[in-house]
Chain A
Amino acid sequence: MPELAQARPAPSLPLAESDTLPTRRVKTKAGSRPALRGSLLVRISLIALALAFLALVVLLPLAAVFAQALEKGLGAYLRAIRQPETMAAIRLTLLTALLVVPLNTVFGVAAAWLIAKYRFSGRNLLITLIDLPFSVSPVISGMIFVLLFGSQGLCGQWLSDHDIKIVFATPGIVLATAFVTFPFVAREVLPALQAAGNAEEEAALILGASGWRLFFRVTLPKIRWALIYGIILCNARAMGEFGAVSVVSGHIRGVTNTVPLQVEILYNEYDFVGAFAVASLLTLVALATLVVKKVAERFQGARNAEGVR
Chain B
Amino acid sequence: MAAAANIAARPGWRPGPLPGFRPTLGFTLLYLSLVVLLPLAALVLKTAGLSWGAFWATVTSSRALAAYKLSFGGALLAGGINTVAGLLLSWVLVRYRFPGRDVVDAIIDLPLALPTAVAGIALTAIYAPTGAVGGFLERHGVQVAFTWVGVVLAMVFVGLPFAVRSVQPVLMELGPELEEAAAVLGASRLRTFSRVILPVLVPPLLTGFALAFARAVGEYGSIVFISGNMPNHTEIVPLLIVTKLEQFQYQQATALAVVMLAGSLVTLLAVNLLQAWNRRWTGHA
User: Which residue numbers of A lie inside 8 Å of B, CB to CB?
Assistant: 1, 3-4, 7-19, 43, 46-47, 49-51, 53-54, 56-62, 64-65, 68, 103, 106-107, 110-111, 113-114, 117-123, 125-126, 128-140, 143-148, 150, 152-154, 175, 178-179, 182, 198, 201-202, 205, 211, 214-215, 233, 236-237, 239-243, 246-247, 259-261, 263-264, 267, 272, 275-276, 279, 282-283, 285-287, 289-291, 293-294
Contact = CB atoms under 8 A, between A and B. Distances in A.
A154 B12 CA distance: 36
Contacts of A147: 39, 42-43, 46, 250, 254
A144 B35 CA distance: 11
Nearest to B32: A129
A114 B116 contact: no
Contacts of B140: none
B259 to A, nearest CB: 11
Interface string B42-55: 11011000000000
A133 B36 contact: yes
B28 A143 contact: no
A237 B7 CA distance: 30
A120 B14 contact: yes
A57 B220 contact: no
B230 interface: no
Interface class of chain B by DSSP? helix
Contacts of B125: 61, 64-65, 68, 272, 276
Interface in B162-220: 176, 179-180, 182-183, 189-190, 192-194, 196-197, 214, 217-220
Contacts of B112: 233
B133 A56 contact: yes
A92 B241 CA distance: 26
Contacts of A61: 119, 122-123, 125-126, 157
16 contacts: A7-B91, A14-B179, A46-B96, A114-B20, A114-B21, A114-B25, A117-B21, A118-B21, A122-B6, A136-B40, A137-B219, A138-B116, A147-B250, A264-B117, A283-B114, A286-B110
Contacts of A123: 7
Nearest to A122: B7
The residue in B32, B114, B214, B218 that gathers the most chain A C-beta atoms within 10 A of its C-beta is B114
B176 A17 contact: yes
Contact of B27 (A4, A107, A131, A179): A107
B245 A146 contact: yes
Nearest to A246: B242
Contacts of A103: 31
B258 to A, nearest CB: 9
Contacts of A59: 107
Nearest to A144: B39
Contacts, number: 341
A169 B87 CA distance: 44
Given A131-B268, A136-B218, A264-B117, 4 more contacts: A17-B176, A111-B32, A140-B257, A143-B257
The residue in A9, A14, A111, A148 that gathers the most chain B C-beta atoms within 10 A of its C-beta is A14
Interface residues of B, number: 109
Interface class of chain A by DSSP? helix
A275 B265 CA distance: 35
Contact of B183 (A14, A58, A132): A14
Contacts of B238: 137-140, 243
B43 A46 contact: no
B102 A143 contact: no
B130 to A, nearest CB: 11
Contact of A58 (B16, B92, B107, B265): B107
A13 B248 CA distance: 61
Interface string B86-108: 01110111011110001011111
Nearest to B112: A233
The residue in A8, A19, A147 that gathers the most chain B C-beta atoms within 10 A of its C-beta is A147
A19 B96 contact: yes
A201 B18 contact: yes
Nearest to B241: A139
A175 B24 contact: no
Nearest to A1: B84
A123 B40 CA distance: 20
